């Protein structure tokens, strides 16, 4: 380890880091990693770091080394680690009631749905737990809408998706992925989906048929490498969907909740989708909470028994989500993401580096693409980790930067210094 983030500047904010008590860990870092390797399925390739404590934008390993978290669990930590208001809500609710199932009502779900409806502008919400479940819920809603409202013949509904999409890991969802590894060995897949290139409205128009129920698309392809579509694309998509009576279903699981500088990333495009999925930061980084949101005409397709989830809408998740939404609003995190994101982009794009192909982003969702001839992005992430800064490559070439939106401004400046040094 060289600096481990232990500069004067980082120490300033680390003073507020609590919980760094002197209880010696039962295992060494190496042993913790060994246990995961021995007993855990090998479906991830984590950086060699064990996190034992965290607060705000900082995490700490069992030996006390501190790192600045510039990944935020893929944007599930927009509010930072262990935000006091969210933890307080979690603890208070844990002392009252945690799970009721939807067989009964609870006193948290209604207020949560009302708050999310008011913030998002959608009439109605179906709460789930993980992002993939919210997308699956949306797929079911769009199909049922196609049959019961649009009048598509039974069994014929189609959903159009974008190449290089990421919507989760269920068998249906990976079935319309264009990433070979996501599909390899997991077929056969659910029929009724077809892909068009992202950013190409003409291709979408050509793919629409009378059986098309929906176009499912991310406002920015985050996993795909922070791909921002050309200006005007989504306006044209909106027009096409309206003209052909096709639902525009935008997956805001990673881009929503302030990340890109707006409450929802679709606001940048000036379009209103017919329905969206939310997840990740909706649970404030402490509890899995996701949701499918739509207006009444679409959500009305569901009748009792059509769909469900044992934990979906549980009072613990609802209480946490209410606090998570309060924090985003009360702390003005979307505006903060916009302001800090502009600063980072300005510094990164001015820096001339022989290894960088492109820098792109919106708000605090930023991608640094490494030139192919230089090699993959992962060694840069490893070098940054040694300097006390955590980020992760997405696909082979792109370093994704997505810090908590309430990251200290000086800490973020320090992170950019380190990144510029590593990029040379």
Ligand X SMILES: *Cc1c(COP(=O)(O)O)cnc(C)c1O
Sites of contact with ligand X (CB under 6 A):
74, 130-132, 135, 166-168, 218, 222-223, 251, 253-254, 279-280
The span from the CA of 281 to the CA of 371, in Å, is 31
Distance CA 22, CA 11 (A): 18
What is the smallest separation between the CB atom of 178 and ligand X, expressed in angstroms?
A: 14
DSSP notation for 160-228: EEETT-----SHHHHHT---HHHHTT--S--SSEEEE-TT-HHHHHHH--TTEEEEEE-SSBTTTTSBP
From CA 77, how far away is CA 404, in angstroms rounded? 6
Nearer to ligand X, 126 or 356 (CB): 126
Q: In angstroms, what is the minimal distance from the CB of 221 to ligand X?
A: 8
Sheet strands side by side (includes 365-370): 356-362, 365-370, 398-401, 392-394
Minimum CB–partner distance for residue 36 and ligand X (Å): 19
From the CB of 30, what's the least distance to ligand X, in Å?
28
* Cβ atoms of 244 and 236 closer than 8 Å: no
Confirm whether 166 is a catalytic residue. yes
> Nearest-CB residue to ligand X?
131
Which residue lies nearer to ligand X by CB, 222 or 423? 222
From 176, 263, 274, 280, the catalytic residue: 280
Q: With left for phi above 0 and alpha for psi between -120 and 50, is residue 94 left, alpha or beta?
A: alpha
Give the torsion through C-alpha atoms of 250, 251, 253, 259, to 10 deg.
Answer: -50
Q: At its nearest, how many Å lie between ligand X and the CB of residue 62? A: 26
| Cis ω before 188 (30° cut-off from 0) | yes
CB 347 to ligand X: min, Å:
26
CA distances from 106 to 189, 230, 368 (A): 37, 44, 45
- Cβ closest to ligand X, residue 60 vs residue 129: 129
| Cβ distance to ligand X smaller for residue 233 or 249 | 249
State the catalytic residue, choosing from 112, 166, 215, 263.
166
Residue among 76 and 152 whose Cβ is closer to ligand X: 76
Q: Is 291 helix (H, G, I), strand (E, B) or coil?
A: strand
Measured from the CB atom, is 120 or 254 closer to ligand X?
254
280 is catalytic: yes
Q: Report in angstroms how near the CB of residue 130 gets to ligand X at its nearest.
A: 4
How many helices and strands (H and E) does the chain possess? Answer: 16, 15
User: Do 399 and 380 meet the contact criterion of CB atoms below 8 Å apart?
Assistant: yes
Which member of 251, 274, 408, 411 is catalytic?
A: 251
C-alpha to C-alpha distances, 85 to 88, 316, 326, nearest whole angstrom: 5, 14, 9
Closer residue to ligand X (CB): 216 or 422: 216
First to last CA, the chain: 19
- 300: annotated active-site residue: no
* 4: its two tokens: 């481990």
Question: What is the set of active-site residues?
Answer: 166, 251, 280
């Amino acid at each position: 380890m060289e600096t481990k983030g232990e500069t004067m500047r980082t120490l300033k904010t680390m003073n507020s880091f609590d919980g760094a008590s002197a209880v010696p860990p039962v295992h060494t870092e190496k042993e913790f990693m060994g246990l995961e390797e021995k007993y855990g399925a090998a479906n991830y390739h984590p950086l060699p770091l064990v996190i034992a404590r965290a607060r705000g934008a900082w995490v700490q390993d069992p030996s006390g080394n501190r790192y600045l978290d510039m990944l935020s669990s893929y944007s599930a930590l927009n509010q930072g680690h262990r935000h006091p208001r969210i933890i307080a809500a979690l603890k208070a609710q844990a002392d009252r009631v945690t799970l009721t199932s939807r067989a009964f009502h609870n006193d948290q779900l209604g207020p949560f749905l009302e708050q999310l409806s008011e913030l998002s502008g959608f009439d109605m919400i179906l709460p789930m737990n993980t992002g993939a479940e919210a997308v699956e819920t949306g797929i079911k809603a769009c199909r049922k809408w196609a049959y019961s409202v649009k009048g598509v013949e039974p069994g014929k509904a189609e959903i159009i998706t974008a190449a290089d999409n990421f919507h989760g890991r269920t068998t249906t969802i990976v079935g319309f992925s264009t990433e070979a590894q996501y599909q390899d060995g997991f077929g056969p897949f659910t029929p009724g989906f077809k892909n068009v290139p992202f950013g190409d409205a003409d291709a979408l128009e050509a793919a629409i048929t009378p059986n098309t129920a929906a176009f499912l698309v991310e406002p920015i392809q985050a996993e795909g490498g922070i791909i921002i579509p050309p200006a005007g694309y989504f306006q044209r998509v909106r027009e096409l969907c309206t003209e052909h009576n096709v639902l525009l279903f935008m997956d805001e699981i990673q881009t929503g909740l302030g990340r890109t500088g707006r409450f929802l990333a679709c606001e940048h495009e000036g379009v209103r989708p017919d329905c969206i999925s939310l997840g990740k930061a909706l649970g404030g980084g402490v509890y899995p909470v996701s949701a499918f949101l739509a207006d009444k005409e679409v959500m009305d397709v569901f009748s009792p028994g059509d769909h469900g989830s044992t934990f979906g809408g549980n009072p613990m998740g609802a209480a946490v989500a209410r606090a998570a939404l309060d924090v985003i609003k009360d702390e003005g995190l979307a505006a903060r993401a916009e302001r800090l994101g502009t600063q980072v982009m300005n510094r990164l794009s001015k820096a001339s580096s022989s290894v960088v192909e492109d820098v792109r982003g919106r708000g605090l969702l930023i991608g640094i693409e490494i030139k192919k001839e230089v090699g993959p992005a992962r060694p840069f992430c490893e070098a940054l980790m040694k300097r006390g800064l955590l980020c992760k490559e997405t696909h082979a070439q792109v370093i994704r930067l997505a810090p908590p939106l309430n990251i200290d401004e000086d800490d973020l400046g320090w992170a950019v210094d380190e990144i510029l040094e590593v990029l040379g």
